[in-house]
Amino acid sequence: MSDRIRLENIAIVLHQPRFSENIGAAARAMRNMGIRRLRVVDPHMYDFERVQRMATHSAADVLRDMEIFDSLADALAECEYVVGTTARLGGQRVVNTPPRMVQQLIPISQENRIAFVFGREDRGLSNEDLRLCHSLVNIPTAEFSSLNMAQAVMVICYELFTATLAGKKTFVPRMANRFELDGMLTDLKDVLIKISYINPENPDYWMNHIRSFFTRIQLRAREVSIIRGLIRQVNWYGEKRYRDGLEEQKAADKTEECTRT
Ligand code: SAH
């Protein structure tokens, strides 16, 4: 069983949109997110030119295959699973968030056609429309919950699209193991004592914060070796300055001796 959603089995259904521009903007959002099946039910004052203008040329193929129906029941007839989208929470309804909904749809989408239904701009979906839905999804918002229809389409399509990426292998760098981390912390403790950053009387006490900080940030193996390189360089520089100081002192002593004799 695949762990990715099958976008070919997803259709977006716009129920009685009042503005042709919203159909075009929805088509464009769908095209951005790799979803191609658009169904429109009983659009109000339908104007294809206004649809096209918002869809832009890139979504021309979504518009070419777009289907227009007289009733919502007809638009959903061949779908095995229907998700209603709603700006309203409350009542008896169980309403999902988009990520949770998409996770539930991954197995269903393998063998079934799924429709997401969006309601008209002024009233949303009626109770009768919602009865055709198997489940409901709400996009969480601040107090003002009603999104523009095409923007709601975008949020849902984005969520669906990201679920196609879930199975892709992402590069995970190797984290430093405990041995590497402890080696680095010992080197760090030594150098911090040398430069008088921590008290040599009780270094472990002072190292506690540093230790938990470096453990918490989950260093990668490569980063640990960079920090150890830095510590080595600080040590080298300190020793060099010390040797140079001795040389200078020796030279100064010699000059003084010569001038005295
Ligand atoms: N005034 C209507 C909102 C209509 S907005 C109402 O109160 O229901 C048009 C459509 O966009 C809605 O029917 C729904 O399909 C979608 N939509 C808007 N905001 C949404 C949200 N927060 N979550 C899910 N869908 C939303």
pLDDT of residue 90: 74
CA of 149 to the centre of ligand 1 (A): 6
pLDDT of residue 168: 59
Contact 75, 39 (CB under 8 A): yes
Strand partners, 96: 137
pLDDT of residue 215: 86
Owner of token pair 């601040």: 142
**Ligand 1 mutation pick, 23, 39, 86, max ligand atoms within 8 A of CB:** 86
pLDDT of residue 2: 73
Tell me the whole-structure pTM to 2 decimals. Answer: 0.74
CA of 44 to the centre of ligand 1 (A): 17
pLDDT of residue 1: 62
pLDDT of residue 257: 83
Q: Alpha helices of 93-177 — where are they, by DSSP H?
A: 98-111, 127-130, 149-165
Compute the Cα dihedral for 236, 241, 246, 252 and give only its sign: positive
pLDDT of residue 89: 85
Domains of the chain, earliest start first: 7-162 (3.40.1280.10), 178-260 (1.10.8)
For residue 129, the Cα-to-chain-centroid distance in whole angstroms is 32
**Of 136, 115, 114, residue with least CA distance to 125:** 136
For residue 239, the Cα-to-chain-centroid distance in whole angstroms is 48
- CA–CA distance, 40 with 183 (Å, rounded to integer): 64
Q: How far from 46 is each of 19, 50, 145, CA to CA, in Å? A: 8, 8, 27
The pair phi, psi for residue 119, each rounded to 5°, is: -90, 175
**Of 170, 169, 179, 190, residue with least CA distance to 221:** 179
The CB-side HSE value for 50 (13 A sphere, CA atoms) comes to 12
pLDDT of residue 57: 95
Q: Alpha helices of 2-119 — where are they, by DSSP H?
A: 20-32, 48-55, 60-65, 72-76, 98-111
**Ligand 1 mutation pick, 147, 156, 159, max ligand atoms within 8 A of CB:** 147
**Which atom of ligand 1 is nearest to 140's Cα?**
22
Contact 78, 113 (CB under 8 A): yes
Q: Which residues of the chain have pLDDT under 50?
A: none
pLDDT of residue 260: 75
pLDDT of residue 18: 98
Residues with CB under 6 A from ligand 1: 85-88, 118-119, 121, 123-125, 138-139, 141, 145-147, 149, 152
